[in-house]
Amino acid sequence: MNTTVEVLGFAREPAWLPWAVTYFFLIGISTTAFLLSLPGLVWQRPAWRGISRRALLVALVCGLTGPVALLADLHQPGRFLNFYLHPNLGSWMAWGSFFIPLYMFGLFLYAWLCLRPQLAALGRSGDRFSGLYRTLAYGGHDNPGAIKAAALVGAIGAALLMLYTGMEVMVVQARAMWHSPVVPLLFAVTALSGGLGMTSLFEALSGNQSAAPLLNRWLERSQWAGLLLLMVWLLLGLTGLSSAAAEALSAMQGDFSWWVTGAWLFGSTLLALWLARSRRHALVLPALFALQLAWAVRWTVLMASQSLPKMGATSPRYFLTLTPDGLLGIVGMLGLCLTVYIALTSLVPWDERSDA
């Protein structure tokens, strides 16, 4: 039997950076949080009313910040113009550049229409910002028909965003771990997990524990779905039914870090599942585990998989450094999320008492 040692190998450094993970994470959360806002704000389900308001806040915070990470990934943000000047419509990424503004337009219009009556009420309060609120309210009419129409635009945008982010990754045959129909589904399910987690976290921040049972019920479902998809991918690879998954597993063999990664993904999903089932009234812990699952899946698929060599035997390892395109970028995006959260919650009260 031959043994081979790559004496002189040339491994390319990872080309997609944590910016990509941050974008996929935030935009996934935004789209699913938007969908979570529909039961309470469009279909007027009483049980969802408070949750949907917080979900809308999540959708806005993550929707406003997510595309910033995407722009940062282009090295020079102004380059985004080429997406519109020279679109190649055979590329999923090109379609994404149209789906993002469609979703953003729908989200902002929907949010504004939902908040209008409350903005009008704030405009009548007589404080020093009442003029601004009156302007923003633009009459302040509650128009359920318009809300439904805007929700439809946003929902189409959200669905297309989830579709493109999954397909963009799935179509890349050169990356064995990416080239699987399970990936878009896993992204969608873990985005839901992240959306529920972030909504739970916002509920906890506003001190509203009553939403916990309903959120945890949905969190449990999303964890089951995530677990199922992880197992499907693994089985497809182990049985050889998916040559790409089998190739990915083969490339991981002998690397202890992949065993740790796999154990972490399955273990943390099970733990989140257990928390959501057994601690129905807890918000923070299940939320944090749900968020970490959304992040860990994206990090594993987008970053860790880039360490699997396409050619040769050398693994192009990625080390998270304290640089703008590394840890500083992630922390910076977290700070931006916090800033937008503070700005939005300062502008409009989002708690239960302020329900319009």
Q: Which residues bind another protein (CB under 8 A)?
A: 1-13, 15-16, 73-76, 79-80, 82-83, 85-88, 90-94, 96-97, 168, 171-175, 178, 247, 250-251, 308-315, 317, 319
Residue (127 or 255) nearer to another protein, CB = 255
Q: Which one, 4 or 346, has the nearer CB to another protein?
A: 4
At closest approach, how far in Å is the CB of 100 from another protein?
12
If the CB atoms of residues 248 and 272 are measured against another protein, the closer one turns out to be 248
Provide the CB-side half-sphere exposure for 330 (13 A, CA).
15
Contacts 24+ apart (CB under 8 A), 162-170: 162/28, 162/31, 162/187, 162/188, 162/191, 164/92, 164/93, 164/95, 164/96, 164/99, 165/24, 165/27, 165/28, 165/96, 167/92, 168/92, 168/93, 168/96, 169/301, 169/302
Q: Please, what is the minimum distance in Å from the beta carbon of residue 83 to another protein?
A: 6
CB of 8 to another protein, least distance (A): 4
The secondary structure of 239-266, three-state, reads HCCCHHHHHHHHHHCCCHHHHHHHHHHH
- For the CB of residue 81, give the shortest distance to another protein in the complex, in Å: 9
Q: What angle do CA 200, 67, 218 make, to 5 degrees?
A: 25
Q: How far is the CB of 14 from another protein (least distance, A)?
A: 9
The residue (of 6 and 355) whose beta carbon lies closer to another protein is: 6
Nearer to another protein, 80 or 264 (CB): 80
Query: At closest approach, how far in Å is the CB of 1 from another protein?
Result: 6
State phi, psi for 338 to the nearest 5 degrees: -65, -40
* Cβ atoms of 226 and 189 closer than 8 Å: yes
Residue 86 CA to residue 77 CA, distance in Å, equals 16
Distance CA 130, CA 122 (A): 6
CB of 175: closest distance to another protein in angstroms? Answer: 6
Nearer to another protein, 5 or 145 (CB): 5
Residue 1 vs 353, nearer CB to another protein: 1
Closest CA to 245 of 289, 299, 301: 301
Nearer to another protein, 247 or 351 (CB): 247
19 vs 184: CA distance, rounded Å: 19
Residue 28 and residue 37: Cα distance in Å, rounded? 14
**Minimal distance, residue 271 CB to another protein, in Å:** 31
